[in-house]
Structure 1
Amino acid sequence: MTEKMENKEAPRSVPEPHIPGARYAIDPLAFFFALVSAPVVVALLFFWMLAIPVFAVAVGGLPYLIVGTPVLLIYLHYRKGSPQGAAGCAAITVIVGCVLALTSAVIHGDLHEMDGILTFGITAAVHATTWGFAFGKLYNRWRSAVSCQPLPPYPNQHLKGPIPC
């Protein structure tokens, strides 16, 4: 009986592999709307949790826009832009920022600031991950078909060193 069940598994969708060195065009309109609406969508979905996501938009919205915009632009230029990848990129960015803040606190001797940094960092990591995932979902839904295809390689990309005039 188990042999019959093993053959009847649902086929899994195989994600397209990442092409090494591929670059992608970024749809600016979809990027802007997904970047701005991702925290709002998460806040609307989870506002019933003691209004924490709504408060997080007010506190973390500006850092999200200032730090998240260049990080997501760089990420989307070299990757297809999966929601899981955007969430992971956001989480890593927050973790690196917290490690830098903790290192700075230790170097300057402000050890009483470590509790605040850790509390803010854990909260920011949770919200950044959900905002990154929501951004990835919204961006992939709204992006154009042209931005899903890899860009052609640079001319003379095979040459090593500076490109001759």
Structure 2
Amino acid sequence: MLTNKCWEEEFAQNNENITEHELTFNIDDFNRCINMEIYDMHDCLTLSNRGIEISAKQFDAILKEYPLGRVGYEVYNNEFRVIDFVSQNLSIRAQWQFGRMYVQYLNSRLTLIKDRKIYYILSINDDILTIRFHQEWEEEIHYFSNIDINDRSEPIAIITSSELPINFLRLN
């Protein structure tokens, strides 16, 4: 996992203990979270609660609107904010614990659909953890290729699919 200085500082100063109680949430929230659909739209993956169908020609026109092409499209259209799915107030550290679990779950689904490496970008803004992702494309750079993440003012972490377990649930 690649992190910037802000991420490291956030978790160094925010080192309260996580209890199981902090990570409980109701079954409706859990179902909404895990039942998000993954759409393969002209080779791009989109996380959504509603189906999207457009022609290849329309999709190519849409891609021109994103500075990073398919990478930009996936990053900007695949936003998962923990607070949108968990009705209780969670500390940043508790959001990170939940977010890490969700990234592992999402990775187990996405890697079944595509063989490409996937980049998960986690950021914290206004005490809200946001998770985005994009695939690695041969002819395109990944989202932070030309940016030093330490120049960013918000905490950022990048996790790749190769760093995560293949299966969401591991039996020991």
Common topology (TM > 0.5): no
Higher relative helix content: 1
Q: Using CA pairs below 8 Å that are at least 6 residues apart, which structure has the higher relative contact order?
A: 1
Normalized against structure 1, the TM-score is what?
0.30
- Please tell me whether Structure 1 or Structure 2 has the larger radius of gyration of its CA atoms: 1
Higher relative strand content: 2
